Amino acid sequence: MPDRRTIIQGLGALPLALAMSGVPAAARTARKPPRLRPGDTVGLVEPAAFSDDPEQIEAVKSTIRAMGLVPLVGRHVGTRHGYLAGTDRQRAADLDAMFANDEVRAVFAVRGGWGSARLLPLLDWKTIRANPKLLIGFSDITALHLAFAARAGFPTIHAPNAGGSWPEISWNSLWHLAFAGATPTFRNPAADAGDPTAQERWRTTAIRSGKARGRLLGGNLSVLTALVGTPWLPDFDGAILFLEDTGEAEYRIDRMLSQLALSGILGRVAGVVFGRCTRCTTGGEDYLGFTIPELLQHYFAPLGIPAFYGANIGHVANQLSLPVGAKVEIDADPGTIRILEPVVA
């Protein structure tokens, strides 16, 4: 678990902030999730890996309370089944219960890991579609974001998991989307000219200039490619594809991008944003292979569509909270993502 002070740091301005097609026909007309308000109850679930330390769960509940919300812990949170947080049916039941509970306004994943994809055939999609609520999380939760885009039809939010760190950028971007119902433009922070490290950390690079509009779809590259060929992916025609990953060697990123190209997904999107690939560099003086930027150029430049990389999305501090399934506009040169519609009612 991150240090508690790190988790809460980005929530310090909470009182001020709070004051201030694969989609079925029924899903295409789905209502938007309700906006969050101070005092709302939100569910905590573990669709993937387990957290069996009671102190860890208490720390997560404290984070939710610091957001001004009331945590409701899923029945099987803290359960362990191998490396999963309970059996597939137990984890699916927790998700179903949160969407069926009228008192729950949104659902946070406690953590990622692996296992969310195993739930997709077990979920009560009729109940989920009938009760739109923001699903918030990232990494392995990508499987749920994509399946919700395909089967539920309402936006979800790719953001830190509840058990992660919520510094200012992550919290503010979530607040604008989920509480305010705003349509902000997101970009990396301006780098300190006197800090070369910060300049590199916040730099975005255009692969191909221009603007593009479309439905924002994507998430973790490994999880997305594992769903290729299944009925759980949404329609990528005209979409803005965003990707991130962690701990994958360059040749694995090459292999996964090749799969997206060969499956036809890359040829159908209107624009691409690649966030961060954390710990994806083999390194060493003897390494003679492609770098990640070279691979991105290889796969995205020939598409002839606006594309950029370096957005603060993924397994990094200060990651942006982004609405999956919402209409956005990207501008590759400044590296911006403009939200075109509120994601909550």
Q: Which of 145, 158, 176, 315 is catalytic?
A: 315
Return the pLDDT at 197: 66
The angle, 0 to 180 degrees and rounded to 10, between the axes of the packed helices 292-300 and 250-262 is 10
Q: Which of 46, 76, 116, 139 is catalytic?
A: 139
Rounded percentage of the chain residues whose pLDDT exceeds 70: 89
> Is 139 among the residues known to form the active site?
yes
Q: Which of 244, 248, 250, 329 is catalytic?
A: 244
Return the pLDDT at 12: 45
Return the pLDDT at 284: 74
> Is 46 among the residues known to form the active site?
no
Return the pLDDT at 14: 46
Three-class DSSP labels, the chain: CCCHHHHHHCCCCHHHHHHCCCCCHHHHCCCCCCCCCCCCEEEEECCCECCCCHHHHHHHHHHHHHCCCEEEECCCCCCCECCECCCHHHHHHHHHHHHHCCCEEEEEECCCCCCHHHHHHHCCHHHHHHCCCEEEECHHHHHHHHHHHHHCCCCEEECCCCCCCCCHHHHHHHHHHHHCCCCCEECCCCCCCCCHHHHHHHCCEEEECCEEEEEEEEEEHHHHHHCCCCCCCCCCCCCEEEEEEECCCHHHHHHHHHHHHHCCCHHHCCEEEEEEEECCCCCCCCCCCCCHHHHHHHHHHHHCCCEEECCCCCCCCCCCCEEECCEEEEECCCCEEEECCCCCC
pLDDT digits (tens, 9 = 90+) for 103-127: 999 999 999 999 999 999 999 999 9
Domains of the chain listed by start with CATH number: 4-22+35-179 (3.40.50.10740), 185-339 (3.50.30.60)
Residue 69 pLDDT > 60, yes or no?
yes
What value does the mean pLDDT take over residues 50-78? 96
pTM for the model: 0.91
Residue 308 pLDDT > 70, yes or no?
yes
Query: Radius of gyration over alpha carbons of the chain, in Å?
Result: 19
Q: Do the Cβ atoms of 316 and 154 come closer than 8 Å?
A: no
> Is 341 among the residues known to form the active site?
no
pLDDT digits (tens, 9 = 90+) for 266-306: 999 999 999 999 999 887 778 889 999 999 999 999 999 99
Return the pLDDT at 137: 98
As a whole number, the mean pLDDT across the chain is: 91
